[in-house]
Homo-oligomer: A and B are copies of this chain.
């Protein structure tokens, strides 16, 4: 056993990123299912280990808590190798760029629309139109990037592919039609194959 524990909600892309990275690194871990909709990230016990009240949360073998999905990915990749981060400084920095872009310009639209529609059952008319507009802008940017690149950030598969595929492959659940993004669809299939996960 590697000794890692993950508090995560299995339907959350941010949590799945951590699961897939641990699996890609062939590390055993204990998964502690934590249901966001049931308020399990807001209990006193959970807030004591993550004051931000968010999953995923990684507990290291020494019991130290680490939050923020993409920070956990970087920690695991640095600590355990596995080739998920390029060795050259600038190429690695491009992975960082896409990880921050994912959290700022992709997840708040693509993941949030999915959460509101699929998990909270909100009708389309109640959704802020910006969510659709900016989500489409994010997919359009990815389509251009993947038009002549196999992987999103680097010449090899990297953490950026894991981070971005999590919500992109579920974008249809947020009302985004991926048929308009053929290069993105082909890339999703490549990443799913690489991670050995089935198609959604």
Contact = CB atoms under 8 A, between A and B. Distances in A.
Contacts of A38: none
A71 B89 contact: no
Interface string A36-75: 0000000000000001100000001000101111111011
B97 A100 contact: no
A180 interface: no
A26 interface: no
Contacts of A141: 51-52
B93 A74 contact: yes
A94 interface: yes
A105 interface: yes
A96 interface: yes
A99 interface: yes
Interface string A7-25: 0000000000000000000
B75 A99 contact: no
A179 interface: no
Interface of A: 51-52, 60, 64, 66-72, 74-75, 78-79, 89-90, 92-94, 96-97, 99-101, 103-105, 107-108, 141, 144-145
What are the nearest 10 A-B pairs in CB distance?
A71-B96, A75-B93, A68-B100, A71-B97, A68-B97, A103-B104, A71-B100, A74-B96, A79-B89, A70-B100
